[in-house]
Structure 1
Amino acid sequence: MMANAAKRGFRHEIWAVLTLGVPLIASNLAQMVINLTDTIILGWYDVQALAAVTLAHALYSLLYLFGAGFAWAVMPLVAEAAVQGNDTRVRRVTRMGIWLSLGFATLAAIPMLLSEALLLSIGQDPSISALAQDYLQVIFIALFAALLIACMRSFLAALGHTAVVFWATVFVAILNGVLVYLLVFGHFGFPELGILGAAGGAFWARRSARRLRRSPALRSCASMRCASCPNIICSNAFGGPIRRRWSRSRVSACPSV
């Protein structure tokens, strides 16, 4: 009997790990597809643009990985607080992760905006360095959204809502591919922007992820005002105007997602 109980417990734990882990694996692969899409489409468009975006992605990815450390720290801290039933700490940890991530993004904007000089200093071609800076001067704004999304991914994953993370990333990946294709080549009446189109498509795709707050899963708990709801965005730390704006949209982050 004890052996059967242990076997059932083992199967339960395996299933729990797969249920949480597989959507996170898939979302990470979808995140890689976003960068791969830019590379493939710009490779079709122009070799110089491809070389420039490769350099730009290297710098962007380096800065993102540094900044995402704050977001990754949110996951274990939120999970620990949630197990303890400390909802106040869940909110505070997530808010601080968001503030630190956005603060880092502000500092990271400096090397991205001045990337041409940085690339020239390490011996890169002047024309490619200029193109890379053109790309980064648009995409640096997306770093704010990317780090904010990383914090929310950690928050949702810590509460076991990894399916939300997966579908949000897939949505951004598909929209990014469509927008980059249209804006790089100028198809269907869109302007042909080349490398700037790739940057603009990536920016608008990430920015559109905030629209997911209007999904039925999130709206299902919009009317709840419970102490257990980690209502991060509407928190006092974000000030009255933002709180009122989100109240009008009738959306709040809730564990019932």
Structure 2
Amino acid sequence: MLSFPVILGMLGHTFVQFADNIMVGQLGTAELAAVSLGNSFVFIAMSLGIGFSTAITPLVAEADGANNTADGKSALKHGLVLCTIMGLGLFGVILLAKPLMYMMKQPVEVVELAMPYLDLVAFSLVPMIIFQALKQFSEGLSQTTYPMYATVIANVVNIVLNYLLIFGNFGFPKMGIVGAAIGTLISRVVMVIFLWVLIKRKEKFKEYVTGINFRKIEKKVMKKIIDLGFPSALQMFFEVAIFTAAVWISGVLGKNAQAANQIALNLSSMTFMVGMGLGVAAMIRVGNQKGLGSFKELRRIAQSIFLLTFLLEVVFAISFILLKDWLPTIYLDVGDMANIQDNTEVIKLAAQLLFVAAFFQISDGVQVVVLGALRGLQDVKVPTMITFVAYWLIGFPISLYLGVYTHLGSIGIWIGLLVGLTASAIMLYIRFNYLTRKLIQTKDILVQNKA
């Protein structure tokens, strides 16, 4: 039950993009490719923000396990300050990076459409990352339903605004993909306000959110969050960046390849969020058991979550294989005779990519849930190196070579992703297995010495 609201909350973030892609896809493949290109910049920044915010959860979970309210409150306060600064900083970095789109050999038509879209979606990172700080705090206290409610409300707001502003319904201006960007921005502001009001009203949070003094900042706590958050941000960055690189490489192959890549990526991102939600559950439960010093139970709980994740991802993989020819049709207007050639090509290519994506669902889910368990142990530095090696020294070179220098094209790009994710899953599990065995042995020795 702990992981279910987390999964729905994670899916909520992805569903915003899912709704945008489906609605924008009705305008044409160029518009869909533009949203893909713009979001590729935002996803990189978002990965840093979300990854950094995950440092709050194990600190709060450990404080909760040890019944130490003061430390939990301090983690929330300092986490909010750091996440707000990071949100503003990432927004500024994206604005400075915008000219790169003209230097990446992307279709000019796509770049021109992506520019105004990117401005607004980049600014939406500020409320998004503030929300993440509140979300990670709430989940650290095992209160996972409230962030879920907030993301559901945000999605409703986003879909309604998309309907009104993308297509100009009910007298609203027809704004195309800029309308989708406005919907995303407003929905994320609503998400923050809704969650904060909800938290303030609940008795469980009263001691943590009452009388927060933001003028009193402790360097020691800031350093602890940064020490945990920065490597966690890099872990997520390394993974998201390789998927972003896949978007950019596919853009070199043309707008249809980029649109197909976006469809496959969006669908696989939704199933990935199930694994990510279970990873958060693993992080919370491992953090709790670490606070209690119960390492055998910690290992048992984590391995149960690993097995559940593996089984769910196998189900998703089978679903992708069975539905690969139908799923891409959701994103495009198959009755649009003016663009029928482009749409047919995109659907065919996306179906091929989904076949490969079916297999890396399993590796992707396992690696993210093991990574969550390691964060619960507050082990972040070695896993950061593991993810870098797996994605950038193993996966990316294969994606680049097969995608650009062989006849495989987009399929070759995704084969590289599959190899990188599989390498990550194997190495991270070896790390978790080593650490938990060591903790159990050390505690057993201490107990024996006391006896």
TM-score bracket for the superposition, by shorter chain length: 0.7 to 0.9
The one of 29, 32, 35 aligned to 1:50: 32
Question: Identity over the aligned pairs, expressed in percent?
Answer: 28
Q: Which residue of structure 2 lines up, in the alignment, with residue 73 of structure 1?
A: 55
Q: For residues 46 and 201 of structure 1, what CA distance do their matches in structure 2 show?
A: 19
Question: Are 2:214 and 1:237 equivalent residues in the alignment?
Answer: yes
Q: Which residue of structure 1 lines up, in the alignment, with residue 89 of structure 2?
A: 107
Q: Hey, which bits of structure 1, 4+ residues long, moved more than 4 A?
A: none
Q: Which residue of structure 2 lines up, in the alignment, with residue 255 of structure 1?
A: none
Q: Which residue of structure 2 lines up, in the alignment, with residue 251 of structure 1?
A: none
**Offset of residue 127 of structure 1:** 3.2
**Offset of residue 89 of structure 1:** 1.5
Q: Which residue of structure 2 lines up, in the alignment, with residue 179 of structure 1?
A: 161
Query: 3-state SS of the aligned residue for 1:229?
Result: helix
Amino acid at match of 1:230: Y
Structure 1 residues 129, 114: CA separation in 2 closer, same or farther (over 3 Å shift)? farther
**Offset of residue 220 of structure 1:** 5.2
Write out per-residue CA displacement over residues 8-58 of structure 1, whole angstroms, 9 at most, x where no aligned residue.
xxxxxxxxxxx1111111221222111111111111123322111111111
Farther off after superposition, 40-49 or 72-81: 40-49
> Which TM-score applies when normalising by structure 1?
0.76
Q: For residues 115 and 49 of structure 1, what CA distance do their matches in structure 2 show?
A: 21
**Offset of residue 116 of structure 1:** 3.6
8 A contact 2:98–2:115 mirrored in 1: yes
Matches for 1:12-161 after TM superposition, within 5 Å: 19-161=1-143
Q: For residues 190 and 115 of structure 1, what CA distance do their matches in structure 2 show?
A: 32
8 A contact 2:154–2:187 mirrored in 1: yes
Write out per-residue CA displacement over residues 40-86 of structure 1, whole angstroms, 9 at most, x where no aligned residue.
11111233221111111111111101111221110000111122222
Indicate the structure (1 or 2) with the bigger Cα radius of gyration.
Answer: 2
Q: For residues 98 and 81 of structure 1, what CA distance do their matches in structure 2 show?
A: 17
Q: Which runs of 5+ in 1 are unaligned?
A: 1-18, 240-257
> Which TM-score applies when normalising by structure 2?
0.45
Amino acid at match of 2:32: L
8 A contact 2:49–2:87 mirrored in 1: yes
Q: For residues 152 and 104 of structure 2, what CA distance do their matches in structure 1 show?
A: 36
Q: For residues 132 and 92 of structure 1, what CA distance do their matches in structure 2 show?
A: 40
Query: 3-state SS of the aligned residue for 2:105?
Result: coil
**Offset of residue 118 of structure 1:** 1.0
Q: For residues 111 and 49 of structure 1, what CA distance do their matches in structure 2 show?
A: 24
Amino acid at match of 1:198: A
**Offset of residue 107 of structure 1:** 2.2
Amino acid at match of 1:44: Q
Aligned length: 215
Amino acid at match of 2:29: V
Q: For residues 215 and 21 of structure 2, what CA distance do their matches in structure 1 show?
A: 37
**Offset of residue 214 of structure 1:** 4.0
When the two chains are superposed, the root-mean-square deviation of aligned CA atoms in Å is: 2.2
Query: 3-state SS of the aligned residue for 2:175?
Result: coil
Q: Which runs of 5+ in 2 are unaligned?
A: 217-451
8 A contact 2:87–2:127 mirrored in 1: no
Q: Which residue of structure 2 lines up, in the alignment, with residue 166 of structure 1?
A: 148
Structure 1 residues 210, 68: CA separation in 2 closer, same or farther (over 3 Å shift)? closer
8 A contact 2:64–2:72 mirrored in 1: yes
